[in-house]
Amino acid sequence: MQSALAFTPRARTYLEKRGVREIYVEPVNIVECCIPVISPPSVRKGTPPKPENFLVLEADGIRVFYDKDLLRPDTLTIDTQSYGFAKTLVIKDWHISV
């Protein structure tokens, strides 16, 4: 299944200001001693270390490498989130189900 890909206006502005043309979405692997920790995937700037493990999507002139092991929602929306003075890219409305 191919996901529809979109960027919020904030995410487009963030990427344009930094001249970013490629990002990748990968799972966050957290190892805990007793319980599994489930978290949303990480969105990083650049090309992944092993591009062959990713699907390639494109929107608004931005190439998105999406890890093949992640679930693919019908619509994948990239947004920004602020932590104090730092801003990062995130998947908007990511739902974790167990």
Beta partners for residue 23, in sequence order? 45, 64
Whole-number pLDDT of residue 97 = 61
Q: Which tens digit of pLDDT belongs to each residue from 39-87?
A: 789 999 999 999 999 999 998 899 999 999 888 778 889 999 998 889 9
**Which residues span the domain enclosing 49?**
4-91
Whole-number pLDDT of residue 1 = 46
Whole-number pLDDT of residue 53 = 95
In a domain, 39, yes or no: yes
The enclosing domain of 83 has a CATH number of: 2.60.300.12
- Say how many domains are in the chain: 1
In a domain, 33, yes or no: yes
In a domain, 97, yes or no: no
In a domain, 12, yes or no: yes
Whole-number pLDDT of residue 73 = 79
Give the integer Cα–Cα distance in Å for 66 and 4.
12
